[in-house]
Amino acid sequence: MDPRAGRTATTCFVVSSTEYQSTPCPRCAKVAHVDKRALGDRIAQAREAAGMTQGGLGEAVGLDRTAITRLEKGERKLSAHELVAVAEALGRPMSYFVSAPVPAVVSRRSDTSHAHETTRALDVELQGFASDIQILMEMRLLTGHERAGDVKTPRDHTVAEQVAQEVRQKLSLGDAPVRDLGAVCERLGLHTFSASLGAAGPDGGCVEVGDATACLGAAVINGDTPAGRRRMTLTHELGHWLFGDAYDVQASSDSERMINSFAIHFLAPRAGIRTVWDQYGELPVRDQALAIGASFRLSWSAVIAQLKNVGFINDGEYRDLNEYEPRSGDYLRLGISWDEELKSPYVSPGFAAACLNGYVSGRLTGHRVIELLRGTLAAGDLPHQDPPSRDSLRTAFAGHGGG
Amino acid sequence: MVVAEQHRWVMDTSTYTHLCRAGHSDIIRSLAPAGVVLIPTDVSTEIETGRDRYSDIPSVSSIDWAEVAVLTEEEVWTQLEVKAQMGGQSVEHLGECAVIACAYHRKLIAILDDRAALAQAERLHVCTYDTMWIVIEAFKHLYGRDKNRTAQVVDDLLTTGMYLPVDSGESIMSWAYEEGLLP
């Protein structure tokens, strides 16, 4: 018998499947591809976003205009070399063109109030970020969570406040302000990318990646909006993620309002507000509100709405406070300030750590890690990569009948 | 001899060029199932580039223990998907990506050395061996478990500039013996 026949390969793994692939592959339904038509659409979108004509793109990659036209219609096969050239010419990572479609967006804030172009920009970022999280899970650089199926979208404000308190308790946050919201969301399985979507762009969106036994959330928020709004948006997406309302058949149009209610109570709990309110008790109401805003890092509209919700100000005071949006000098005058948390570009720390650990261990290339980190780290700032160790040779001895 | 298709090897540039330059391409011929390895066209292109610098690397077309594999359209999609995860400029990593794609769809064994490429193969549940695995296989099946002869192959590979986390062939064989890794 030939000694090679029947031997065991050193690196065989259990096959698993994913839920959402457009073109299942024959072997284990693991690789999901876009099809030629979807690839053509993505090329056309990226070309238009880059302000290039079909002729201009063709010139840049060595194809004639008709070839680009057919490519964008999904009528032409594309070689690996050509797609690399197209990606380089359009300034996009290759993953933008070839990553599999993500499932339906769980939530997309402000989608009805913005032009198609801006929501499309959000969808593109969601697609890319969710796809990257999926890959990092497959590489076991990120670990999925089991979805808790018992938390539903609150049906009234009282329940929303109660759920917010429960989540805070689970995280041992007490009543204090949440200092690093991106890290806090990651403790609940939601990773964040703060993208540049324009000051008037959509606020954010959220996608679920994986399946019920091992899943993570991917949130993209608009990092060009004011700091308080960014935090509110991310907490809103956290609500969608926790409640899984895409799967809640009883969720209604009121869900958005209830998730906002959860979000404000999570960011600024009643007891926490009381503490700060009392701390600045000698100041006028407006200055007390400013202190609340700075402490809990809320937008002005969120501050005064929450103060009214919890009964610290009445309708008249609310109207008065709503007349004048404070400027940064108003906060500085009181000797208080806040940092620019979640400003674009930003990726949450656990996501960044997964990417960098993948690089240090040699499982991800430096070029790819820089892409994954989305402008938050320069190539020169990458940590030193571990050289292969002698222990890495152990796999070479596997399957030969030794110890 | 009939060899189960899933045992066939599809090989990347590193193993091919280093074993050839080290003067041990006979190992591939002797150990590869059916005596032939598949070389995707992108790897063949990289080998030709290597031949510009090292004349002792044979072209794929000139040898009887390797044949060129042209990827199908489905395999090219997978190659692109893997390339997206590998990153890199222009044609960088295209050979490794082709090996992974070919092995994935044809259920073959990918012969790879690069850590990032191995991680992508693992992600896709592709079975892999590396160059050192082949050397240890030679120790077992070709060299009659002669440690000195095997150590010489490792030394020859080190001479070609192949990166291995050891100083010498003798040191790896001693280490493997102490660790109880040798058959």
Cβ–Cβ < 8 Å for A182, A342? yes
**Residue A79 touches chain B, beta carbons under 8 Å:** yes
Distances (CA, A) of B48 to A95, A280, B14, B76, B98: 28, 75, 13, 21, 16
A296 CB burial (10 A radius; 0-12, 13-18, 19+): buried
Minimum distance, in Å, between the CA of residue A25 and any CA atom of chain B = 8
Residues of A in contact with B33 (CB under 8 A): 4-5
Average pLDDT over residues A328-341: 85
Predicted pLDDT at A402: 56
Which are the contacts of B95, defined by CB distance < 8 A and separation ≥ 6?
A: B12, B13, B40, B42, B43, B45, B46
Distances (CA, A) of A78 to A97, A230, B40: 12, 40, 17
Residues of A in contact with B19 (CB under 8 A): none
Predicted pLDDT at A23: 35
Q: Identify the CA nearest to A54 among candidates A40, A42, A66.
A: A66
Identify the residue among B8, B41, B85 best suited for mutation to test binding to A, counting A beta carbons within 10 A and taking the highest: B85
A95/B85 Cβ within 8 A:
yes
Predicted pLDDT at A29: 35
Half-sphere exposure of B110 (CA within 13 A, CB side): 33
What's the distance, Cα to Cα, between the start and end of chain A in Å? 23
pLDDT above 70 as % of chain A:
84
Average pLDDT over residues A361-387: 96
Asked if the model's pLDDT at residue A210 lies above 50, the reply is yes
Residues of B in contact with A364 (CB under 8 A): 116, 119
Minimum distance, in Å, between the CA of residue A177 and any CA atom of chain B = 38
Average pLDDT over residues A136-156: 87
Predicted pLDDT at A33: 65
Asked if the model's pLDDT at residue A19 lies above 70, the reply is no
Per-residue pLDDT of B135-166, as tens digits, reads: 999 999 999 999 999 999 999 999 999 999 99
pTM of the model: 0.88
**Residue A393 touches chain B, beta carbons under 8 Å:** yes
pLDDT above 70 as % of chain B:
96
Q: How far is Cα of residue A350 from the mean position of the Cα atoms in its chain?
A: 12
Cβ–Cβ < 8 Å for B168, A387? no
Q: How far is Cα of residue A146 from the mean position of the Cα atoms in its chain?
A: 18
Quick one: DSSP state of residue B145?
T
| Helix (H/G/I), strand (E/B), else coil: B66 | strand
Average pLDDT over residues A170-182: 95
Average pLDDT over residues A57-72: 94
Average pLDDT over residues B83-102: 93
Q: Is the ipTM of this complex over 0.95?
A: no
The model's confidence at residue A15, banded by pLDDT at 50, 70 and 90, is very low
For B1-10, B14-23, B128-137, which range has the lowest pLDDT when averaged over its residues? B1-10
Predicted pLDDT at B130: 95
For A12-26, A193-207, A298-312, A330-344, which range has the lowest pLDDT when averaged over its residues? A12-26
Per-residue pLDDT of A231-280, as tens digits, reads: 999 999 999 999 876 545 455 668 889 999 999 999 999 999 999 999 99
Average pLDDT, chain B: 94
A139/B104 Cβ within 8 A:
no
pLDDT above 90 as % of chain B:
89
Cβ–Cβ < 8 Å for A294, A337? yes
Find out whether the peptide bond into A24 is cis, omega within 30 degrees of 0.
no
Residue A347: which H helix or E strand, with range? strand A346-347
Distance between CA B118 and CA B127 in Å, rounded? Answer: 9
B179/A403 Cβ within 8 A:
yes
B88/A80 Cβ within 8 A:
no
The model's confidence at residue A134, banded by pLDDT at 50, 70 and 90, is very high
Minimum distance, in Å, between the CA of residue A40 and any CA atom of chain B = 14
Residues of A in contact with B164 (CB under 8 A): 388, 393
Average pLDDT, chain A: 85
Which are the contacts of B176, defined by CB distance < 8 A and separation ≥ 6?
A: A393, A397, A402, B136, B182
B87/A368 Cβ within 8 A:
yes
Predicted pLDDT at A16: 25
Cβ–Cβ < 8 Å for B60, B39? yes
Predicted pLDDT at A180: 94
Average pLDDT over residues A143-165: 88
Q: Could you tell me which chain A residue has the CA closest to the CA of B80?
A: A80
Asked if the model's pLDDT at residue A28 lies above 60, the reply is no
Minimum distance, in Å, between the CA of residue B146 and any CA atom of chain A = 15
Q: Which of the pair, B15 or A104, is modelled with greater confidence?
A: B15
Residues of B in contact with A5 (CB under 8 A): 3-4, 7, 33
The model's confidence at residue A38, banded by pLDDT at 50, 70 and 90, is confident
Asked if the model's pLDDT at residue A25 lies above 50, the reply is no
| Among A79, A369, A402, beta carbon nearest to B183 | A402
Half-sphere exposure of A94 (CA within 13 A, CB side): 28
Asked if the model's pLDDT at residue A108 lies above 90, the reply is no
Predicted pLDDT at A40: 93
Per-residue pLDDT of B160-172, as tens digits, reads: 999 999 999 999 9
| Among B80, B107, B122, beta carbon nearest to A83 | B80
Q: Identify the CA nearest to A331 among candidates A356, A362, A297.
A: A297
B90/A85 Cβ within 8 A:
yes
Cβ–Cβ < 8 Å for A213, A283? no
Residues of B in contact with A400 (CB under 8 A): 136-137, 139-140, 182-183
**How large is the greatest C-alpha to C-alpha distance in chain A, in angstroms?**
92
The model's confidence at residue A391, banded by pLDDT at 50, 70 and 90, is confident
Asked if the model's pLDDT at residue A111 lies above 70, the reply is no
Cβ–Cβ < 8 Å for B153, B160? no
Distance between CA B19 and CA B30 in Å, rounded? Answer: 13
Average pLDDT over residues B83-109: 94
Distance between CA B22 and CA A111 in Å, rounded? Answer: 62
Predicted pLDDT at A30: 46
Two tokens, residue A353 = 């750590």
Distance between CA B155 and CA B20 in Å, rounded? Answer: 14
A3/B78 Cβ within 8 A:
no
A88/B115 Cβ within 8 A:
no
Minimum distance, in Å, between the CA of residue B105 and any CA atom of chain A = 6
